[in-house]
Structure 1
């Protein structure tokens, strides 16, 4: 019966939107909110004109849900000029007091590079449409929402474009070496499909130094990789053979010398923990203290023909 009801509602087309939209605001545990959103998404582009009309004409209680679903269905491209400017203004306001900043600490993969080399990173990776973003928004865009899509370029060729997030500048006074301020680049599809290890090596040619880190709790795996001036200096991988490559770095010697009886064996060849390596070399993910956070983050894409507004999915701010 539920399947039949769903089919009937979809068959109603845009006329169903006005009746369904109130249920998207129902926060009760047994509410039909998720089912209603699913139905509206099945309507696809058919629902866009009705959602835009609700944004312009009301009722007021539904305007917020209409905005969210417009972005879910068509990205920011689905918004009219007034709504797009309103969202951009809200992002700028949120950036002003976004402290402290949080980045995922439970798992993920990211690049780290010297903060003052941001322009070199943008040029090296071929990033476009740099847009200011809160860290909540940026992390969601690069790790949870759709962060890649296929498109047809002006020559009729099919290409894949990626969306990435570059964090604010984080100061780490424990970092080994003279560079204390670092930025992180997040983007699951980008790092997976274009190879984060290769990307960090290429970045180091332009920035002097770049790192790649992987925390994979599902496979109980850690990887960390340090490249300088285009060469691999040190790397570790839980399932690599051998696990360590390159000469141990100074921070690893400290852990080996200061290990207690239970840790001696762990640090015989070096530091096997990516988070510990990041904390000593650049910046580790997690909560960043406000006084050591500078500037704001950026969302960017990897092709000039595809701006951020083409990516579908509503993002938290």
Structure 2
């Protein structure tokens, strides 16, 4: 970003009028950086109608050819049945759903600021969260939102969703701490869970896909002593659990992808446009 625009960004929202002026009047070399700066300073709420229209057209164009997409191999997310989108939107109290590319949504929910503090109608302070719901992958959708999952609890959110949509899973893959979490809730009850540093480490009885590992025998053609020891009590890898139960992290084949993703917010008074940070499209 040019030094003069960078200086305006450091001024915060006081720089909005000047950045808007640059967008309208130039100089030309600063118009694109000024738009990114506006997004960093105040989100897209201070974009004019022309800029908003241009961004929305670009998103629609990118959605046509964004496949195949790749979902992160590390992080935290909830998986839920794709046909239950409306149900989980209601259960989790989500608002202002807006079409978004996967690159845009993942950045909004896991890289850019995903919280917005505001004052409610009664004068109290509150925080809204921004989340991203992926396209449909093999009959599942995934919800990302680091602050949302951390503050409201990924386990609890999955259990709450499963009360209405039969099943939901919470996963965490944390390479830095060498930690994995996977949690399966059905009809409001936890049926199986694992956490690397949990106390207890295991919850519930092994699921069918785990049994083949637990009962691995040296006479089996696919016997592997590493996995026989590692999975002697059950599957410890959230990546493996996700592969077996819903969607494997990483590249998703085009034929397994349907529809598009959605950005959403957790409060009706704080639309997604109020969250700061320029997003890749």
With the shorter chain as reference, the TM-score category is over 0.9
Partner Cα separation in structure 1 for residue 225 and residue 17 of structure 2: 68
1:38 positional shift = 4.5
Q: 1:308 aligns with which of 264, 269, 272?
A: 272
Partner Cα separation in structure 2 for residue 145 and residue 310 of structure 1: 12
Q: What RMSD over aligned residues (CA atoms) do the two structures have, in Å?
A: 1.3
1:194 positional shift = 0.4
Once the two structures are superposed, residues 251-273 of structure 1 have per-residue CA deviations (whole angstroms, 9 ceiling, x without a partner) of 11123335412321111110000
Partner Cα separation in structure 2 for residue 170 and residue 249 of structure 1: 22
TM-score, with length taken from structure 1: 0.84
SS at match of 2:109: helix
Q: How many residues align?
A: 275
Partner Cα separation in structure 1 for residue 266 and residue 116 of structure 2: 11
In 1, are the aligned partners of 2:213 and 2:232 still within 8 Å (CA)? no
1:295 corresponds to 2:259: yes
Partner Cα separation in structure 2 for residue 97 and residue 219 of structure 1: 36
Partner residue of 2:75?
Answer: 108
Q: Which runs of 5+ in 2 are unaligned?
A: 217-221
Partner residue of 1:20?
Answer: none
Q: 1:81 aligns with which of 26, 29, 49?
A: 49
1:40 positional shift = 2.2
1:282 corresponds to 2:246: yes
In 2, are the aligned partners of 1:54 and 1:63 still within 8 Å (CA)? yes
Q: 2:65 aligns with which of 92, 97, 102?
A: 97
Q: 1:218 aligns with which of 158, 164, 176?
A: 176
In 2, are the aligned partners of 1:236 and 1:272 still within 8 Å (CA)? yes
Change (3 A) 1:184 1:274: same
Partner residue of 2:235?
Answer: 271
Partner residue of 1:17?
Answer: none
1:166 corresponds to 2:172: no
Partner Cα separation in structure 2 for residue 285 and residue 39 of structure 1: 39
Once the two structures are superposed, residues 143-186 of structure 1 have per-residue CA deviations (whole angstroms, 9 ceiling, x without a partner) of 01110121001111211110000000001xxxxxxxxx100000
TM-score, with length taken from structure 2: 0.94
In 2, are the aligned partners of 1:167 and 1:296 still within 8 Å (CA)? yes
1:68 positional shift = 0.6
Q: 1:133 aligns with which of 97, 100, 108?
A: 100
SS at match of 2:227: coil
Once the two structures are superposed, residues 213-246 of structure 1 have per-residue CA deviations (whole angstroms, 9 ceiling, x without a partner) of 0011111000000000000000001111332221
Q: 1:190 aligns with which of 134, 139, 148?
A: 148
Partner Cα separation in structure 1 for residue 69 and residue 5 of structure 2: 30
